[in-house]
Amino acid sequence: MIFDENAKMIREVARKFAQAELAPGAAERDSTMRFPLKELKQLGELGLLGIVVPEKLGGVGATYTALTAAVEEVSRADASIGVVMSTHHSLACMPIVNHGTPEQQARYLPKLLSGEIIGAIAITETQAGSNAADIRTRAERKGDNYVLTGRKQLITGGAFAGLAVLLATTNPDAGPRGITCFLVPTDAPGFSVGKVEEKLGINSSGTAELVLDGVELGADHVLGKPGEGYKIILAALARSRLGIAAQAVGIAQAALDHATAYAKERTSFGKPIIEHQAVGFRLASMATEIEAARQLTFHAAALLDAGKPFQKESSMAKLFAGEMAERVCSQGIQVLGGYGYLKDYPLERLYRDARICQIYEGTGDIQRMVIARMLAA
């Protein structure tokens, strides 16, 4: 992938900040589940929370290629922050950019872009995971307002988000066409954070249950038109899958970085272990898989930037990169041997972080289904 000058600059800003400010504290945030609100605010101050938001709305006005590069660099340092950065962009900011009224854009975008508040996407429910159309959260009309009742599960950033872009059904008999998208401030009466989940990895991303107990909102909190919520979010998910692919590439690159550095320093039988063919070949295979995933991801981003169909390539990138990251991190642990299994070294955290990339924002099986349908069309 050849970057334009703007994308190069954004990638370099993200890389320098991530390595200097995010990487040193990643293990501590992982072990304590500390929410990275300070770090996210710093990303906002650098303009890294509004990379693809148009300049006229206060953003940087750059490409999805630039955003993808930045998410990779941030995830290389801390995958928890990388996923929040990605969902904040693609699933909170951009739906408001693409479907929000001027009033909604003026109300929310300045705070989202600065990092004053973080946006979360609230789709998943107990029974509505891969089948996102099976939404049970209700939004009932009450005069000019809506009253929202229900629960959302496994919401990235839900523990600390200031705004939830949330799907609720306004017409249960209409199926997907009865689902409406709402902009829900998390300080609204009746809104609360339920259980904050303890997870295998990405432990500081604030994954939480959201509870809506009679949250009353005006019609000005509807994003787009009533009944268009499912369509709005499906389009946003196609873009956001690039962020998860980039996250997976960043995690895998960090694993390769650490494994290579260790292999150059660790000696066995009188020479650095990287000079042993078994280790050198393992690292070579890791590097090749990472580059294949990276190029697939940036190809999809380039198609999106060019205004061409990209959904199939986005699903391919997410599928391949997610599975690649687990393989590469496993091989990285193998390079370190017993040390790779210890929490004193970063490989075990990277391995745990990598596993989720095959699950959220569309499992590997869902991506295969999307790709197969497009092949059959």
C-alpha span between 326 and 166 (Å, rounded): 30
User: In degrees rounded to 5, what are phi and psi of residue 371?
Assistant: -65, -45
Check: CB of residue 117 under 8 Å from CB of residue 111: yes
- The beta strands (E) that lie in the chain are given as 119-122, 138-142, 145-155, 163-169, 179-185, 191-196, 208-218, 222-223, 267-268, 271-272
C-alpha span between 170 and 146 (Å, rounded): 9
Give the containing element (helix H, strand E) for 277: helix 277-305
CA 309 to the chain's CA centroid: 21
C-alpha span between 92 and 88 (Å, rounded): 5
Q: Which of 159, 30, 80, 33 is nearest to 356 (CA)?
A: 80
C-alpha span between 200 and 208 (Å, rounded): 14
For the annotated catalytic residues, the residue numbers are 361
The pair of three-digit structure tokens given for residue 116, joined into one six-digit string:
């004053």
The pair of three-digit structure tokens given for residue 224, joined into one six-digit string:
């787009």
H helices then E strands: how many in the chain? Answer: 12, 10
The pair of three-digit structure tokens given for residue 69, joined into one six-digit string:
């590069």
